[in-house]
Amino acid sequence: MIDLQKTLLIGWFGLLTVFGNAQQNTVLQVVTKRINKEFAYKDMYEVNIDGDRAEVSIETWDQPVIRIQIDLIAKHPDKETAARDLEYLQYITQRVKNKIYLRNYLSVPDGQSEPESKLKAVYLIKVPAECPVYLKTNYGQADIENLSNRLRVNSRFSQINMQNIRGWMDINTFFGELFGTKLDGNVAITSRRSDMTLRDLSGRFDINAQYGVLNIYASSGLLDLNLHADNSQVFLHTPDLAGFHYNLIAQNSKLQLPSGMKFQINETAPGIKRVTFQPKSEYYPNITVTVNLGSLFIGK
Amino acid sequence: MIERNPSTLKRAIQNLPGYAPPKSMWNTIESEMAFYEREAALRRAARRLPEYAPPPSVWENISQEIHQPVLRKVYAKMRPYRWAAAATLLLAVYSAMFLYEQTGKPKIEYLVSAETGHLGTNASMSPQDEEAIEEVQALFVQYHQQYNDPQGHELLAELNELNAACEELRDVIDTYGFDKNLAQELTKAELERSGVVRKMAAVL
């Protein structure tokens, strides 16, 4: 049996130990290594980014060129130390067949001391809108805008912001946050221990989530939404509540439905509720949601 | 020089075989002679033709053409090959771009500036907390083996995942330096881990 004092102590340890004492501000020397490179774009070239502790910004422009700027940054009160640690940050910009590989990573030579500076990489990438992109990011952040073909994201401990993306999307996130606005196409999202907020959604969505808070705002252009969530809170907002066909399953979960709509509710087994709603229109989008050990809210 | 055996020589010469040219040879010689006669007549007639001076504009045109740049004259000569030349040039440019992409080094510059801030704290955890978690986890494993609770299996898997995530985040913060977003993510993971450990402790 664990004593009460120890149990309470465990409850507090995270807050007390993560940050320790706040340090006083000082002057940090910022040494930046800026890399610029361009590749001529051809149909179906794919930009393949592997960012480690990186802030990645992907924008589009109307030139058939892929332009890359990578800033490798080291910050330390001592400039010499910052300059030394900066050399531990390595990068790759290379085209192999139809793939353009961009990567940064940390490489400390044998016998050298660990870096003492704050290190990070900042990517600014401009591509034609139709250029497919694959982004892998660890411990960073990404802002992606206006792509129209194919986007794949594999993120860990990162925040992903997507705006005005069309086409085929495959997003995988682990311990992070996902923000998407104006997404239109065939979208597959797999998330674990990540929160997501998706607005103005059109097209078909397939979402699988565990341990997250999901805020989803559909638009009238939504065609299909399949959502499976475990241990999660789901908030689903639709502009025309009665214009969708709903097929909802709540397993040991809290369910909150909009008033004024006649849902058919059946308890198929202890703790399992099945809820359906048939709209009056002949053609309608489908919303299928299964929530297990969580909560589901549906409203405007 | 005096021939010592003239009779022998004469006899040998008489015994040599004789050859006559073919008849067609005489015909060819005759036709060629006739051609030269006609040519001579034409030349004589040409000499008797009157001579006229060309108008000055002709000489002006010739003079302009003579003074044109050499390049234009070359271009005029090369005009029939211009498409081939353009294609070759295009190919050369494309090849150069391809080679530049493959072998061309990116432009690199170094920038130095200063800002106010701090390096942040390290993300290490107090040994007592780590020991407390390990103790609860060990007790819970014993409990789980004894009662084989299916929910216990999920809790253990969750704790293992959170342990690994917290350790990874601490490593990243230690390696790359303090970052607010990563620290928040670590706090979130630690709070979730605390919740799982509390759930485990509650059933012991």
B121: nearest CB among A6, A21, A31: A21
- The answer to the question of residue B81 being in a domain is yes
- d(CA A120, CA A30) in angstroms, rounded, equals 11
pLDDT at B71: 57
The answer on A76 and A209 residing in a single domain is no
State both tokens at A57: 């910004």
- d(CA A68, CA A86) in angstroms, rounded, equals 19
A9: nearest CB among B109, B132, B179: B132
A14: nearest CB among B109, B172, B191: B191
What average pLDDT does range A3-17 have in this prediction? 45
pLDDT at B66: 61
- The answer to the question of residue A16 being in a domain is no
The answer on B199 and B131 residing in a single domain is yes
DSSP state of A241: G
Closest of A273, A281, A231, A278 to residue A256, by C-alpha: A273
Q: Show residues of chain A in contact with B177, CB under 8 Å.
A: 75, 115, 117-119
H/E segment holding residue B162: helix B150-176
Of residues A198 and B198, the one with the higher pLDDT is A198
In three-state secondary structure terms, A260 is: coil
Q: Show residues of chain B in contact with A138, CB under 8 Å.
A: 172
- d(CA B120, CA B182) in angstroms, rounded, equals 12
The answer on A119 and A38 residing in a single domain is yes
Size of interface A-B (CB pairs under 8 A): 169
User: What's the pLDDT tens digit per position in A36-55?
Assistant: 999 999 998 999 999 999 99
The answer on B87 and B153 residing in a single domain is no
- d(CA A225, CA B117) in angstroms, rounded, equals 45
Q: Show residues of chain A in contact with B197, CB under 8 Å.
A: 10
- d(CA A63, CA A128) in angstroms, rounded, equals 6
Among A123, A145, A167, give the residue marking a domain's end.
A145
Burial of A50 (0-12, 13-18, 19+ CB in 10 A): middle
The answer on A189 and A129 residing in a single domain is no
Please state whether the predicted TM-score (pTM) of the whole model is above 0.90.
no
pLDDT at A7: 46
Our CA dihedral for A108, A139, B124, B195, rounded to 10 degrees, sits at -150
Our CA dihedral for A56, A62, A63, A69, rounded to 10 degrees, sits at -20
State both tokens at A31: 């040494």
What average pLDDT does range A13-26 have in this prediction? 56
pLDDT at A291: 97
Give Dmax over CA atoms of chain B in angstroms.
151
- The answer to the question of residue B41 being in a domain is no
Name the residue with tokens 């592997």.
A50
Cβ-Cβ contacts under 8 Å for A136 (sequence gap 6 or more): A49, A50, A51, A153, A154, A155
Closest of A243, A248, A246, A238 to residue A284, by C-alpha: A243
Most B CBs within 10 A among A1, A17, A34, A85, hence the mutation to make, goes to A17
Using the Cα atoms of residue A2, residue B170, residue B168 and residue A12 in order, give the sign of their dihedral: positive
- d(CA B186, CA B176) in angstroms, rounded, equals 14
Of residues B88 and A73, the one with the higher pLDDT is A73
Q: How many domains does chain A have?
A: 2
Q: Is residue B159 less than 8 Å (CB to CB) from chain A?
A: no
pLDDT at A298: 95
Q: Are strands A99-106 and A89-96 parallel, antiparallel or unpaired?
A: antiparallel
Closest of A160, A148, A153, A150 to residue A61, by C-alpha: A148
The residues facing B188 across adjacent strands are none
Domain that holds residue B63: 56-101
User: What's the pLDDT tens digit per position in B40-78?
Assistant: 888 777 777 776 767 767 777 776 666 666 556 666 677
pLDDT averaged over chain A? Answer: 92
User: What's the pLDDT tens digit per position in B84-138?
Assistant: 888 888 888 766 666 666 556 899 999 999 999 888 766 677 788 888 899 999 9
User: What's the pLDDT tens digit per position in A154-207?
Assistant: 999 999 999 999 999 999 999 999 999 999 999 999 999 999 999 999 999 999
The answer on A300 and A193 residing in a single domain is yes
A30: nearest CB among B114, B118, B194: B114
Task: State in Å, rounded, how far the first CA of chain A is from the last one.
Answer: 48
Domain that holds residue A210: 149-300
